[in-house]
Structure 1
Amino acid sequence: MAFRANEAVTDGFESARNYLIPRDLESSEREKSERMLLDITKRYGPAIKEYPSWHPLVAAQNEPFVRWPDTVPSHKCGYRGLDHTTYFANAFISCPYHEEALLESVEALKYSSHVAEISATKLDVKFYHSDAIPILVKCDWHHEIYQNGMIPAAVAVPLMLKKEIPNYEQAKYAENWESMRPHFLGVPHGSRSSLFVDQKTALSMKKIWDLLVETGMFGPEKNKHKVY
């Protein structure tokens, strides 16, 4: 089935709105929450299901070698206190009932580089539940990204390499592009693009990954590896 980005964006927004905005809110509070949600999607991108493994919001894995790293924020990425969380292309909203753990863990990440910076702020709206405390954890890119929010190859490729190259010391076999595509493109995705990267960037990533696999640095390809 072809990847229909516009449908994915619309479906993602409806899902996020249904999950985050309580139905029992007064009309004025509901309108305020809906405006905030719309503003967040305009600034930080559409609702998504999983990040690329190289995305700054999930790249700081605690374990030195993880064959299949987390592609959604978790304690393995350094976050504490996550609860009732919704993901967007360059941010996520978590709605715990006590905010200290999450705010402190984001501060402790200290992810700041020439590429991007991660920070967190409390939101003055009602999301998920009237007693919850919505927190926006955001990735602000220092490197210029495309006007439509897509991440260019100049950013995506080096972040992918930074994430994957260290794995060659422990790898027993290589995963081909087909098996790695969800981890490199994010979810939802199609065969050649996603809500994070366009076809041109995805093709550049594929070419470089195929070249790395061909060198044998990760070992033989998994689907070609025979066990005797």
Structure 2
Amino acid sequence: MEFRYPVAVAENNAHSLRYLTRNLSDPEAGQAAFEELLLELGNSVDVYPDWHPILTNPPQDGLRGASLQNLPAYKGMDHTVLFIKGFVTCPYDEAKADQLVNNVNAVTGLQAYRLDAVLYSDNAYPVVVQAVDVVLEGDGTIRSRDALAWCVQEMVKDAHNAEVAETWWNIRTNLLGCPHGSRSSIIVNQHTGSHIRKILEAMNNSGMYGPIKEWSLNMLSKKKRDTIAKTLIMTAIANYRDARRKFDFELCGEAIKAEVRDTWDDGTELRVVVVIGDSDLVVTGCYYPENGVLETSSPKGKRSIAEKFL
């Protein structure tokens, strides 16, 4: 589905509101507290980009790139909702809530406090955590110059140990957060997202990360990806013989390896894997001969090869 910023914001905020208030004895009071958090922290989000200060400010302890739950500074968090500037978490243990506040307030660039209002459960002890340097633009997204600077800092760190360069389509979620579209998200607008992409592609083309790894084909429409998958899987089925579980065939000038497994040994479900080269293109799927139904995964690999099968 196409990403539409106003729709995504409304849906995410509504979902988070339900999550934090549905179990309360006084949901109206919970809603009022939630609306205050929206004013303080910005809109609700699902995933932070890797460069967000909420992830990068706490000591990593060898866990660089770890999720919130795995960072020692956030030990004790439970029943958590993310917002652009920070998050609210609702542990049931008051001592853990107090310790979380102390841990976070010891980290430069972060602040935490116990929320007076009740959220998630009448028996929970909500804690608000905020990255103090995050400033929002007029559209509710992170200020462009800050987002770009934080993003570049993380990209440069990755270069030292990188083996391959990841394409924009491979790591959009890591750079934009989630939910996101092709070049923007609830966290960054199109101006910022477009510049993040340009910076990534310039770094990739410089060779600083190593050879470029193509994997995601999300730059192609779903219809095209489905066509590619169907073409390869059905051609494999057409070349399948009961006595051969693994076999090769050629199509569009490409040598293709296929494996077909009869899941239940009765011909009702065939699991298919198609691979070109050294995983230059990979497609998997299930075919049900009785009714001709085909279910496939999205193809992965190199665009130049994938487009041969359109």
Q: Is residue 176 from structure 1 mapped to residue 174 from structure 2 by the alignment?
A: no
**RMSD of equivalent CA atoms:** 2.2
| 1:193-212 superposed matches below 5 A | 193-212=184-203
| 1:204-223 superposed matches below 5 A | 204-223=195-214
Q: Distance in 2 between matches of 1:167 and 1:86?
A: 28
| One-letter amino acid of the structure 2 residue matched with residue 81 of structure 1 | G
Does the 8 A contact of 1:176 with 1:210 survive in 2?
yes
**Deviation at residue 161 of structure 1 after TM alignment:** 1.4
Does the 8 A contact of 1:120 with 1:138 survive in 2?
yes
Does the 8 A contact of 2:170 with 2:214 survive in 1?
no
Deviations 1:110-154 (A, max 9, x none): 222xxxxx2101111111111110011112336x54122212331
| SS of aligned partner of 2:28 | helix
Identity %, equivalent residues: 28
| 1:116-155 superposed matches below 5 A | 118-141=110-133, 145-155=136-146
Deviations 1:65-95 (A, max 9, x none): 74xx23x522336311111111111121100
Flag the 1:135–1:199 CA change in 2: closer, same or farther, 3 A. same
| One-letter amino acid of the structure 1 residue matched with residue 214 of structure 2 | N
Q: Give unpaired runs (5+ residues) of structure 2.
A: 216-277, 280-310
Deviations 1:172-202 (A, max 9, x none): 1110111111111000000021111111111
Flag the 1:17–1:186 CA change in 2: closer, same or farther, 3 A. same
Q: Distance in 1 between matches of 2:180 and 2:125?
A: 31
Select 2:102's aligned residue among 101, 104, 114: 104
Q: Give unpaired runs (5+ residues) of structure 1.
A: 113-117
Q: Distance in 2 between matches of 1:159 and 1:105?
A: 23
| SS of aligned partner of 1:103 | helix
**Deviation at residue 42 of structure 1 after TM alignment:** 2.3
| SS of aligned partner of 2:56 | coil
> What is the match of residue 44 of structure 1?
41
| One-letter amino acid of the structure 2 residue matched with residue 75 of structure 1 | N
> What is the match of residue 76 of structure 1?
71
Q: Distance in 2 between matches of 1:209 and 1:193?
A: 15
Flag the 1:164–1:148 CA change in 2: closer, same or farther, 3 A. same
| One-letter amino acid of the structure 1 residue matched with residue 75 of structure 2 | R
Does the 8 A contact of 1:176 with 1:221 survive in 2?
yes
TM-score, length-normalised on structure 2? 0.64
Flag the 1:77–1:48 CA change in 2: closer, same or farther, 3 A. farther
Q: Decide which structure has greater strand share.
A: 2
> What is the match of residue 115 of structure 1?
none
> What is the match of residue 91 of structure 1?
86
Does the 8 A contact of 2:23 with 2:120 survive in 1?
no
Flag the 1:128–1:24 CA change in 2: closer, same or farther, 3 A. closer
| SS of aligned partner of 2:132 | strand
> What is the match of residue 32 of structure 1?
29
Flag the 1:214–1:63 CA change in 2: closer, same or farther, 3 A. farther
What stretches of structure 1 move > 3 A for 4+ residues in a row?
Answer: 63-66
Count of equivalent residues: 214
Q: Distance in 2 between matches of 1:91 and 1:40?
A: 10
Does the 8 A contact of 2:5 with 2:185 survive in 1?
yes
Higher relative contact order by CA 8 Å / sep ≥ 6: 1 or 2? 1
> What is the match of residue 254 of structure 2?
none
| SS of aligned partner of 2:165 | coil
